[in-house]
Amino acid sequence: MIEAVGLTKRYGDKTAVYNLSFQVRPGSVTGFLGPNGSGKSTTMRMILGLDNPSSGQVTIGGYPYRKLPNAPRQVGALLDAKAVHGGRTARNHLLSLAQLSGIPDRRVDEVLGVVGLQDVARKRSKGFSLGMGQRLGIAAALLGDPQVLLFDEPVNGLDPEGILWVRNLMKSLAAEGRTVFVSSHLMSEMALTADHLIVIGRGQLLADMSVQDFIAANSAGFARVRTPDTEPQLREKLSTALAEAGGHVLPEQDGALRVTGLPLPRISDIAHETDVRLWELSPHQASLEEAYMRMTQGAVDYRSTVDQKAGLQQPLPPGAQPQMPVPGQGQPGWYAPPPPQQGGQPFAMPQGQPGQPAQPSGPPQGPYGAPVAPAAAPNPYAQPAPAAPAVDTTKPKDAR
Ligand SMILES: Nc1ncnc2c1ncn2[C@@H]1O[C@H](COP(=O)(O)OP(=O)(O)OP(=O)(O)O)[C@@H](O)[C@H]1O
């Protein structure tokens, strides 16, 4: 088990991690989520003894990493896949790691097989693609057959087959009773891989709960309602009636309506009363991505702006319609419906000073129950956000 208690890391004026306490338990995959710069890598580095906490502590099996007996046999980690000697072959890189930790040479060939690099084992790693580098980093993490594994964005650069392989690998490692702690920005992947989530924002704990609980706590389900495409006036009629009944109605890209605030039977009754035929009425659960966006939107330091294209865009071809606004696209502050029992985000960013308890109240609500981006939410930890373009999280850190 990994246990952090009051973990804090300051770099000069910058507080990267503040008073973080959590446990990562064996037997499940624990996802570690947070916006860019929220402190995930810093936390992982402290777990691995690569950085010293300013205060607090983090232990693995009760020991700080540096005091763990034979740590490389107990803990495997992928932090930065590019941190290899590019002039060495993949096999020699792993052999040198194995020899340092008293791991037999035959284990190197085993892990090369596990990650699918056996055919390039004798090639220098500087010629490796991003995905091959990731596989080599994963091989290094598996080398000592450790009980505790940390992976920082392991699927970066992997092809779909590789992503599926990593997903199954994480799950099988956890099923063997190991502790698996994995960070990723790919929410769809996390939803399929992780059992439990630890979410941080600006260095502080936002959530520590199962994936199911996280989604339920941060977004309500919604109904998709579709009226006949051939009769657009029915759609308008139903929208008005649903809104009058207290529902929140948003258009979906395919012409359906997304309705929150009304139970399905009520929507059906309203459609019947207003004499509107339905082609679809279906219940939906918000995705992990939507729940995550809702929770963390107040803790994002690097936010993109709409590209105005300086008037350079081509005029629409004759007859073409401008795109219909779609929930979550180009609508700042719209993420997923809030959970009804909470009336909003239950895990708002702490508004107080360090050391003071977080305020449980959610951010101000906008139309459709969506929280309005806090205009001047005091953040005692962040530096002023640089006027930088959005960070492309699909690229590895060293390629951004
Ligand atoms: N060595 C350092 N010196 C100064 N500041 C640092 C250092 N390492 C990290 N930071 C700062 O600490 C904060 C947390 O960074 P960290 O890399 O841990 O975030 P992250 O959650 O891993 O981000 P990302 O998702 O972009 O990888 C950032 O503001 C970063 O600039």
What CA–CA distances, in Å, run from 283 to 262, 265, 335?
Answer: 11, 11, 18
Question: What pairs with residue 57 in β-bridges?
Answer: 5
pLDDT band per the 50, 70, 90 thresholds, residue 359 = very low
Whose Cα sits closest to atom 11 in ligand 1? 16
Q: In this model, does residue 399 exceed pLDDT 60?
A: no
Q: Which of 281, 278, 282 is nearest to 231 (CA)?
A: 278
Which residue has the least CA distance to atom 23 on ligand 1? Answer: 37
Question: Can you give the pTM of this predicted structure?
Answer: 0.74
- Domain limits for position 157: 2-203
Let me know whether 131 and 274 are in one domain.
no
Residue nearest to atom 30 of ligand 1 (CA): 37
Is residue 68 within 8 A of residue 1, CB to CB? The reply is no
The alpha carbon of 203 and the centre of ligand 1 are apart by a number of angstroms equal to 9
Question: Domain tally for the chain?
Answer: 2
Helix/strand/coil for 275: coil
Query: Ligand 1 pocket check: which of 11, 20, 199, 292 to mutate, most ligand atoms within 8 Å of Cβ?
Result: 11
- The residues lining ligand 1, judged by C-beta closer than 6 Å to any ligand atom, are 11, 14, 16, 34, 36-42, 397
Domain assignment of residue 305, yes or no: no
- Residue 371 pLDDT > 60: no
Residue type, 161: E
- Per DSSP bridges, beta strands 204-210 and 196-201 are antiparallel
Going from the Cα of 271 to the center of ligand 1, the distance in angstroms, rounded, reads: 52
Residue 369 falls within a domain, yes or no?
no
pLDDT tens digits for range 305-344: 777 778 787 777 887 766 655 555 544 444 555 665 554 3
In the reported structure, the alpha carbon of residue 122 is separated from the centroid of ligand 1 by a whole-number distance in angstroms of 35
pLDDT score, position 335: 53
Decide if 341 is inside a domain: no
Task: Round to whole Å and give the CA distance between 297 and 218.
Answer: 12
**Are residues 117 and 21 part of one domain?**
yes
Q: Does 150 score more than 90 pLDDT?
A: yes
Residues 247 and 132 in one domain: no
Percent of the chain predicted with pLDDT > 90: 55
Is residue 231's pLDDT more than 60? yes
Query: Could you tell me the CATH number of the domain that includes residue 246?
Result: 3.30.70.100
Domain end marker among 256, 284, 312: 284
